Chain A
Amino acid sequence: MPQEPKKSRQTTKDPVETSVPAPLPLKLSLEDNLQEFSRRIGSSSDIVIRHYKSEAKPPLTLAFIYIDGLVNADTVNQAVLQSLMENSTLNGDSITTEAAFNLIKEHILPVGGVKEARTLEVLLPLLFDGYTLILFEGLQVALAADTSGWEKRSINEPTSQGVIRGPKEGFTESLRTGTAMLRRRLKTADLRIEEYTIGQRTGTGIALVYLKGLASEQVLTEIRRRLNAINTDAILESNYIEEFIQDGGLTPFPTIQNTERPDAMAGGILEGQVGIVIDGTPFALLAPSTFFNFFQSSEDYYQRYDISSFLRLIRYGAFFVSMLLPALYIAVTTFHQEMLPTTLLISLAAQREGVPLPAFAEALLMELTFDVLREAGVRMPRTIGPAISIVGALVLGQAAVQAGLVSAAMVIVVSFTAISNFVIPSLAIANSIRLIRFVMMFIAASLGLFGIMSFLMVLLIHMAGLRSFGVPYLSPVAPMIPRYLKDIFIRVPLWGMNMRPKTNLGKETRRQSPHQKPQPAEDAAKPSPAQPKPQGEGPA
């Protein structure tokens, strides 16, 4: 039996490379061009090809191509088809094809964007962006009119980052809506938006948004380099970009923030971060991001500084509880019973008396049960969602304790851990802790508190070595920069944060005039020796 020759590694082509055809210039014959279009895009039902022949002699022959659903039908009909068909000059005998081309391009088409293209490789992406293509018989150049207008979701409240006080609008899946929302918040000439198209099959639009002069050039260069280095066929969500450009490789910690709040992104951009808005998802990215950025919520700045500071401290506490509580419970009940006061020890021992499982197995069972419930809650239709809480609370909580499978203390530990996990404002870092918690539990069951401390040391050293686009992940705590701690563990009043923290390799810059602490009129009128007069700095 003849054997098929083996394909060598070198001859196996990369699917991404094969999807890039050689540039094909347009031909003089309109029919040939249309045939080539049909060959490339097939005869899909949503592609509309409309022929037009003028009354002139010789007639001007054109073809319009657009994709139904991606274009605004009214714009196509009124601004393109009607304008051209009813134009008397185009129907006159004396006009040549070249003259008609220029006339259409310069005068007839009443749409904002008109582009000229000579190859199919330029025309096809425009077609998929909702442009209407106009091909001419006898010309090797075509026009593309911006008629895009597909159905979009309206602006809604963010689902994952809600606030009690503050703006209620979130990004949508539209890139342009996203950039417009940022533009509306940052009305400055320094705002820059750079666009990229990534993904050879998805052609996803990506916008790099930053404030010139505030964002570090070093960071910008690095982000641009990493974006340009992405060679993939599909970008469907911001996580695709995040995984391709984030530092740290196999780190469990996120080094890029994601947000669906335009106000949060504007706040980040104002502190020198760079925003990355991706078409097709309401989740945009912010980089560089340090560990402490993930504990800041937009609402921290929309309510009083004292309550914001308190809540921030609660979040750090919840972070440690979420990561360590089950592991500490296992370590204490297994290795270090002497740590517990006698009465508590007796109470715990009595609860665990009939439990057949060791503390680790008990904790693992409950944690996995909670994760199953949580995942089921996400997938389950909303109408039967409350059933989950009944099943979780009654069947798996109360019944399991009564059946003697788990102790009541363990149910309390797992519940408090789960609730603490939801206190953390960033889902990205909350998810990191979910995984780390399991490792901690295993180590606690094997080596007790020493194991927990050892793993904490590994995590600490890992985080200390991590960088986000050149910015140390634990800055400004390690390395310690005391004057930038005003917005880390607590938030000082806004009038106390005159300088913009230098966490992005950029320059430390002033964001507002000093001495803005409100004072009674008579005190403010007196010149104070401790407070020198402002040196004519402009308002923020």
Chain B
Amino acid sequence: MNGKIGTTQAVLLVVNTILPTATVVLPIIISTYTEQDAPLAIILSTLAGLLIAWIVGTVIQNSNGAPFLDWVGEKSSPVVSVILGLLMLQFYLDTTATILREFVNFLKDNVLINTPITVLVILILFITIYMVRQGIEAIARVNSLVILLYLFFVPLYLLGLYSDLNVHHLLPMFDHSLAEITLASLTPTAWMSEVAVLLFLAPYLQYPQRAKIIGWTGLLFVAILMMLILITALMVFGPEFIKLSAYPGFATISILRVGRFIEKLDILFISYWVLSIYLKFAIFLFVTVECFKQTFRVSSSRPFIGALGLIIALECLFSWQSSAKLNNYNQEGRFVVFFLFNVLVPLGAVLLNRLHKARSKRKGLET
């Protein structure tokens, strides 16, 4: 079922890899540091994200879409590839577990207040395992359909908020120091670095040589939408009130109204967000399974999807019980871990390839 995915589909996969959780968590983190200068932090993080996409794209171009760990094994040694695979597997298991936790936390806080978290986790996991078993081609197709719905939701969002937008809330601009803006851009940069999932999606890309374009286009799309959400939230609430809500993006939606007859649309947007986050979780579970497959060199990963899903569910239920701990990790810990695995690992791979090429050239000259 794992066929090849086209360039547009891959771009849209990158968008939903980053956007669903970023829209929920980022506005509060960024505006805490930079208040009305939050858009500058997004711009800075987008530039960093584009650089990361360039590194990831270079790796995929060099490997020509070969499985990442196999390619690393070829260029270095199988031992290095297995050790790197184990570390990356741990990273993806953790990341997927935090995505699941953010998903259920949001549902528990806003939608299903009385439903036990374990029930939600089991349900979401079953559905996502089914999605992953259908293959990346099916996930990419549904992802494209879901993103197509932005054509309905974005105009509705802007139209509904039009009367509440106050441009003065964005002033004064450049009121924060570069250090503060840089600090605020660290977390969004960590999110932007999730473009590195392309390393494990590369074998399924129809045109792996276009990996850089895929990454760049996806990140620009994400940046535009994040900017839209952040600026509207700022214009509606102002730099002080935005800090009071745990989910400023959804708080903005709750005041949305069109005329006197369309109002209280938060549940509609939450429903749409549920579709997006399912896809994000499915993409990460797929990448985790792919990482497992490449590390342990199993021919078919289907029997292991459930087992990996169970590990993720257990980690989600027992390691991230505290929302405060998760928020703290998002603000402080995430950047370091993401920088290590999403930036340094691909950068190391690029350098390894250069070294390998240089050695081969030298050997060629010697002979």
* Interface membership of B271, Cβ < 8 A: yes
Contacts of A465 in B (CB 8 A): 1, 134-135, 137-138
How far in angstroms is the closest Cβ of chain B from A299? 28
Contacts of A339 in B (CB 8 A): 264, 267
Q: Is the interface of A mostly helix, strand, loop or mixed?
A: helix
* Interface membership of A341, Cβ < 8 A: yes
Q: Are B267 and A336 in contact (CB under 8 A)?
A: yes
- With both beta carbons as reference points, the residue of chain B lying nearest to A450 in the complex is identified as B111
Contacts of A536 in B (CB 8 A): none
Q: Provide the bound-state CA to CA distance between A479 and B327, in Å.
A: 37
How far in angstroms is the closest Cβ of chain A from B20? 13
Q: 8 Å CB contacts to B: which residues of A446-473?
A: 447-450, 452-454, 456-458, 460-462, 464-465, 472
A-B contact count (CB 8 A): 80
How far in angstroms is the closest Cβ of chain B from A462? 7
A-contacting 9-mer, from B79-87, B141-149, B161-169, B293-301: B141-149
Contacts of B264 in A (CB 8 A): 338-339, 341
Q: 8 Å CB contacts to A: which residues of B261-278?
A: 261, 263-264, 267, 270-271, 274-275, 278
- With both beta carbons as reference points, the residue of chain A lying nearest to B135 in the complex is identified as A465
Contacts of B141 in A (CB 8 A): 464, 472, 474, 478-479
How far in angstroms is the closest Cβ of chain B from A66? 54
Q: Are B6 and A461 in contact (CB under 8 A)?
A: no
How far in angstroms is the closest Cβ of chain B from A77? 62
Q: Are A447 and B112 in contact (CB under 8 A)?
A: yes
Q: Please pick, from B123, B138, B139, the residue contacting A454 in the complex, using a CB distance under 8 A.
A: B123
* Most A-side CB within 10 Å, residue of B1, B111, B138, B139: B138
* Interface membership of B130, Cβ < 8 A: yes
Q: Please pick, from B1, B115, B148, B261, the residue contacting A447 in the complex, using a CB distance under 8 A.
A: B115
* Interface membership of A41, Cβ < 8 A: no
* Interface membership of A477, Cβ < 8 A: yes
- Contact A479 B9, CB 8 Å, known A341-B263, A457-B131, A461-B131: yes
Q: Are B111 and A448 in contact (CB under 8 A)?
A: yes
* Interface membership of A480, Cβ < 8 A: yes
Q: Provide the bound-state CA to CA distance between A453 and B270, in Å.
A: 10
Q: Please pick, from A341, A453, A461, A472, the residue contacting B130 in the complex, using a CB distance under 8 A.
A: A461
Contacts of B144 in A (CB 8 A): 478-480
- Contact A457 B6, CB 8 Å, known A462-B134, A478-B141: no
Contacts of A472 in B (CB 8 A): 141
How far in angstroms is the closest Cβ of chain B from A349? 17
| Per-residue interface assignment for chain B, residues 102 to 116, with 1 indicating a CB less than 8 Å from any chain A CB and 0 otherwise | 000001000110010
* Interface membership of B76, Cβ < 8 A: no
Q: Are B275 and A478 in contact (CB under 8 A)?
A: no
Contacts of A453 in B (CB 8 A): 271, 274-275, 278
How far in angstroms is the closest Cβ of chain B from A345? 11
Contacts of A478 in B (CB 8 A): 141-142, 144-145
Q: Is the interface of B mostly helix, strand, loop or mixed?
A: helix
Contacts of B278 in A (CB 8 A): 453-454, 457
Q: Provide the bound-state CA to CA distance between A460 and B124, in Å.
A: 15
* Interface membership of B360, Cβ < 8 A: no
Q: Provide the bound-state CA to CA distance between A474 and B138, in Å.
A: 10
Q: Are B138 and A461 in contact (CB under 8 A)?
A: yes
Q: Are A458 and B6 in contact (CB under 8 A)?
A: no
Contacts of B138 in A (CB 8 A): 461, 464-465
- With both beta carbons as reference points, the residue of chain B lying nearest to A475 in the complex is identified as B141
* Interface membership of B127, Cβ < 8 A: yes
Contacts of A449 in B (CB 8 A): 111, 267, 270-271
Q: Provide the bound-state CA to CA distance between A465 and B1, in Å.
A: 7
* Interface membership of B8, Cβ < 8 A: yes
Q: Are B275 and A457 in contact (CB under 8 A)?
A: yes
Contacts of B1 in A (CB 8 A): 465
How far in angstroms is the closest Cβ of chain B from A457? 5
Q: 8 Å CB contacts to B: which residues of A35-72?
A: none
Q: Provide the bound-state CA to CA distance between A474 and B274, in Å.
A: 21
Contacts of A462 in B (CB 8 A): 130, 134
Contacts of B261 in A (CB 8 A): 341
Contacts of B8 in A (CB 8 A): 480
Q: Are B9 and A454 in contact (CB under 8 A)?
A: no
Q: Are B271 and A461 in contact (CB under 8 A)?
A: no
| Per-residue interface assignment for chain B, residues 1 to 42, with 1 indicating a CB less than 8 Å from any chain A CB and 0 otherwise | 100001011000000000000000000000000000000000
- With both beta carbons as reference points, the residue of chain A lying nearest to B128 in the complex is identified as A457
Q: Are B145 and A477 in contact (CB under 8 A)?
A: yes
Q: Provide the bound-state CA to CA distance between A464 and B124, in Å.
A: 19
Q: Provide the bound-state CA to CA distance between A129 and B362, in Å.
A: 82
* Most A-side CB within 10 Å, residue of B8, B141, B264, B267: B141
Q: Are B115 and A457 in contact (CB under 8 A)?
A: no
Q: Provide the bound-state CA to CA distance between A251 and B270, in Å.
A: 29
Contacts of A458 in B (CB 8 A): 127, 130
Q: Are B142 and A460 in contact (CB under 8 A)?
A: yes
Contacts of B112 in A (CB 8 A): 335, 447-448, 450
* Most B-side CB within 10 Å, residue of A458, A464, A477: A464
* Most B-side CB within 10 Å, residue of A450, A454, A474, A477: A450
How far in angstroms is the closest Cβ of chain A from B21? 17
- With both beta carbons as reference points, the residue of chain A lying nearest to B132 in the complex is identified as A461
Q: Are A461 and B107 in contact (CB under 8 A)?
A: no
How far in angstroms is the closest Cβ of chain A from B216? 21
Contacts of A460 in B (CB 8 A): 142, 145
Q: Provide the bound-state CA to CA distance between A454 and B120, in Å.
A: 11
The 8 closest A-B pairs by CB, nearest first: A478-B141, A465-B138, A465-B134, A464-B138, A464-B141, A453-B274, A460-B142, A461-B131
11 of the cross-chain contacts (CB-CB < 8 Å) are: A335-B111, A341-B263, A449-B271, A450-B107, A450-B274, A452-B271, A453-B278, A461-B139, A462-B134, A464-B134, A479-B144
Besides A450-B112, A478-B145, 16 new A-B residue pairs in contact (Cβ under 8 A), listed by A number: A335-B111, A341-B261, A341-B264, A449-B270, A453-B278, A454-B124, A457-B278, A458-B127, A461-B138, A461-B142, A464-B139, A464-B145, A474-B141, A479-B6, A479-B9, A479-B144
